[in-house]
Structure 1
Amino acid sequence: MKYKYWFLTMLIFLLLANACTQKKKGDPKKEHSGHNVSQPAMTNMDMITLTSRDEQYANIITDTVRLKTMAEYTTLLGTTSFDERKITVVTSRIRGRLDKLFVRNPQETVVKDQPLYSIYSEELLSYENELLNALQQQQQFTNMKDVMEQLVEAARKRLLLWGLTTEQITQLEKSGEASPLITFYSPVSGTLVELPVSEGQYVETGTPLFRLADLSQLWIEAQMYTSELRWLYEKPVITVEFDAYPNEIFSAVPVFDNPTVEADQKISLVRFLVASRTRQLKPGMMAYVNIKRNEKKTVVILKSSILVGNMISAWVKTGNGLYENRMIELGIQNKKEVEIISGLKEGEIIVTNGAYLLNSALILKKGAGMPGMEGMKM
Structure 2
Amino acid sequence: MRAVWLLMLFWIGVAAIAAEDTVRLNDEQARHLGIRTVKPEEVTAMPLARAPARVVLPPQKEFVVSSPQAGVIGNVAVPLGVKVKQGQVLAKIQSPDLLALQRELLDAASEFSLAQARLQRDQTLLQEGIISRLRWQETKGDFDKAQAALGAAEQTLAASGLANAEIQKLRANRRMSSVLEVRAPIDGVVLERMAVVGQRVDRLTPLFRVGKLDELWLEVNMPQERLHEIKIGDRISLENIRATARIIEVGQHVDPESQSALVRAVVDSEAEALRPGMHINVQLMHRSTDRIFRVPVAAVFSHEGKNYAFVKTAAGFEAREVAVAGQEPYSMVIHEGLEPGDEVAVQGVAALKAAWLGMGEGE
Which of the five TM-score ranges fits, normalised by the shorter chain? Answer: 0.5 to 0.7
Report the secondary structure of 1:233's partner residue: coil
Letter in 1 for 2:47: Y
Q: Could you tell me whether the CA contact under 8 Å between 2:53 and 2:282 is conserved in 1?
A: no
Match of residue 376 from structure 1: none
Between 226-235 and 256-265, the greater mean CA deviation after superposition: 256-265
Q: Could you tell me whether the CA contact under 8 Å between 2:312 and 2:318 is conserved in 1?
A: yes
Match of residue 55 from structure 2: 81
Deviation, structure 1 residue 112: 0.6
The partner residue of 1:308 within 303, 309, 328 is 303
Q: TM-score, normalised by structure 1?
A: 0.65
Match of residue 4 from structure 1: 5
The partner residue of 1:180 within 150, 165, 178 is 178
The partner residue of 2:274 within 281, 293, 306 is 281
Structure 1 residues 115 and 299: alpha-carbon distance in aligned structure 2, compared to 1, 3 A threshold: closer
Deviation, structure 1 residue 271: 3.8
1:309-334 per-position Cα deviation (integer Å, ceiling 9, x unaligned): 1666789999989x9988x5635366
Larger Rg: 1
Q: Could you tell me whether the CA contact under 8 Å between 1:77 and 1:286 is conserved in 2?
A: no
Q: Could you tell me whether the CA contact under 8 Å between 1:81 and 1:283 is conserved in 2?
A: yes
Between 216-225 and 180-189, the greater mean CA deviation after superposition: 216-225
The partner residue of 1:93 within 48, 68, 77 is 68
Matches within 5 A, 1:20-59: 46-47=19-20
Structure 1 residues 263 and 297: alpha-carbon distance in aligned structure 2, compared to 1, 3 A threshold: farther
Structure 1 residues 333 and 116: alpha-carbon distance in aligned structure 2, compared to 1, 3 A threshold: closer
Structure 1 residues 339 and 156: alpha-carbon distance in aligned structure 2, compared to 1, 3 A threshold: closer
1:201-240 per-position Cα deviation (integer Å, ceiling 9, x unaligned): 2111111111112223333344444343344415323344
Of all paired residues, the percent bearing the same amino acid is 23
Letter in 1 for 2:336: I
Mapped partners of 1:261, 1:238: distance in 2: 21
Matches within 5 A, 1:278-357: 279-283=272-276, 285=278, 287=280, 289-292=282-285, 293-297=287-291, 304=299, 308-309=303-304, 328=321, 330=323, 332=325, 335=331, 338-340=334-336, 354-357=352-355
Report the secondary structure of 2:334's partner residue: strand
Establish whether residue 156 from structure 1 lines up as the match of residue 154 from structure 2. yes
Deviation, structure 1 residue 172: 0.9
Mapped partners of 2:272, 2:344: distance in 1: 49
Deviation, structure 1 residue 296: 2.9
Between 132-141 and 270-279, the greater mean CA deviation after superposition: 270-279
Match of residue 254 from structure 2: 261
Mapped partners of 2:268, 2:339: distance in 1: 42
Structure 1 residues 279 and 167: alpha-carbon distance in aligned structure 2, compared to 1, 3 A threshold: farther
Structure 2 residues without counterparts, runs of 5 or longer = 12-16, 119-138
Q: TM-score, normalised by structure 2?
A: 0.67
Establish whether residue 226 from structure 1 lines up as the match of residue 201 from structure 2. no
Deviation, structure 1 residue 48: 8.5
Match of residue 115 from structure 1: 89
Match of residue 34 from structure 1: none
Between 181-190 and 105-114, the greater mean CA deviation after superposition: 181-190
Match of residue 211 from structure 1: 209
Establish whether residue 129 from structure 1 lines up as the match of residue 125 from structure 2. no
Q: Could you tell me whether the CA contact under 8 Å between 1:91 and 1:209 is conserved in 2?
A: yes
Structure 1 residues 356 and 205: alpha-carbon distance in aligned structure 2, compared to 1, 3 A threshold: same
Mapped partners of 1:96, 1:64: distance in 2: 69
Q: Could you tell me whether the CA contact under 8 Å between 1:101 and 1:199 is conserved in 2?
A: yes
Deviation, structure 1 residue 155: 1.7
Report the secondary structure of 2:254's partner residue: coil
Q: Could you tell me whether the CA contact under 8 Å between 2:22 and 2:356 is conserved in 1?
A: no
Deviation, structure 1 residue 153: 1.8
Letter in 2 for 1:140: L
Report the secondary structure of 1:198's partner residue: coil
1:3-41 per-position Cα deviation (integer Å, ceiling 9, x unaligned): 52436899xxxxxxxxxxxxxxxxxxxxxxxxxxxxxxx
Match of residue 235 from structure 2: 237
Structure 1 residues 359 and 210: alpha-carbon distance in aligned structure 2, compared to 1, 3 A threshold: same
Match of residue 24 from structure 1: none
Mapped partners of 1:256, 1:52: distance in 2: 52
Cα root mean square deviation, aligned: 4.8
Q: Could you tell me whether the CA contact under 8 Å between 1:94 and 1:204 is conserved in 2?
A: yes
Match of residue 38 from structure 1: none
Report the secondary structure of 2:204's partner residue: coil
Structure 1 residues without counterparts, runs of 5 or longer = 11-43, 244-248, 366-378
Report the secondary structure of 2:243's partner residue: strand
